[in-house]
């Protein structure tokens, strides 16, 4: 009988570490107080196994975030139909990924999430807006996207009413933004 392959062992190690990290997060253990030895013990593996696979304890969380971002980018390859579709797409993808997002926040990987979302937004705007408008819109859509993702962390009940509420808010923000831009261009 054959033993597990290297890939299977690596996957088991990854899952054991992620499970241990999530247990520490749920126990309100500060991330910056974790030790490799403590995580290894909780995961049922050796410290050397962790060091062999990962540079830091944030690396497995970062890998999971990168994987989810690739899935999100693939899901959003087609243009959004309207603001409701934009909000729905973000929330329907990220709300089920709350456990990962909680790990991201706990491990203080918010800047990585922001950079990933910023790159996603910038990629979506290439060829769709004038280069002079792109920086403002990248900032705007990045902040809106991050706000939706963070708000999705707090959703405890059904997501449908939350999507409607967030869509209406996004539409008001967009309309107000257009009004401000139109007023400022007439002042000059």
What would the pLDDT profile of 66-110 be if each residue is shown by its tens digit? 999 999 999 988 888 887 888 888 988 998 899 999 999 999 999
Whether 182 shows a pLDDT value over 90: the answer reads no
* pTM score, whole prediction: 0.83
Q: How confident is the model at residue 176, as a pLDDT?
A: 67
**Beta carbons within 8 Å of 120's beta carbon, 6+ residues apart:** 69, 72, 73, 76, 145
Integer Cα distance of 91 and 108 in angstroms: 21
Q: Domain residue spans in the chain? A: 6-53, 62-187
pLDDT per position as a tens digit, 152-164: 888 777 777 878 8
Helix (H, G, I), strand (E, B) or coil at 57: coil
Longest CA–CA span in the chain (Å) reads 79
**Beta carbons within 8 Å of 101's beta carbon, 6+ residues apart:** 94, 113, 149, 152, 153
pLDDT per position as a tens digit, 113-156: 999 999 999 988 887 778 888 888 899 889 989 988 988 888 77
Is the domain spanning 6-53 CATH 1.10.600? The answer is no
**Beta carbons within 8 Å of 36's beta carbon, 6+ residues apart:** 47, 50, 51, 57
Question: What CA–CA distances, in Å, run from 79 to 20, 82, 123, 124?
Answer: 39, 9, 12, 8
Sorting pLDDT into bands at 50, 70 and 90, what band is 111?
A: very high
């Amino acid at each position: 009988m054959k033993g597990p392959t290297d890939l299977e062992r690596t996957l088991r190690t990854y899952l054991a570490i992620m499970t241990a990290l999530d247990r520490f997060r749920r126990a309100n253990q500060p991330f910056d107080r974790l030790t490799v030895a403590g995580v290894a013990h909780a995961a049922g593996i050796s410290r050397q196994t962790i060091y062999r696979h990962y540079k830091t304890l944030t690396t497995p969380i970062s890998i999971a975030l990168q994987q989810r971002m690739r899935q999100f980018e693939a899901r959003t390859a087609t243009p959004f139909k309207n603001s409701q579709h934009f909000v729905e797409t973000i929330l329907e993808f990220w709300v089920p990924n709350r456990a990962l997002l909680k790990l991201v926040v706990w491990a203080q990987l918010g800047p990585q999430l922001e950079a990933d979302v910023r790159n996603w937004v910038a990629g979506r705007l290439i060829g769709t807006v004038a280069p002079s408008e792109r920086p403002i819109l990248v900032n705007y859509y990045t902040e809106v996207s991050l706000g939706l993702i963070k708000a999705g962390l707090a959703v405890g009940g059904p997501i449908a009413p939350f999507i409607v509420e967030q869509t209406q808010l996004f539409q008001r923000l967009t309309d107000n933004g257009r009004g401000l831009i139109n007023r400022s261009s007439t002042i000059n």
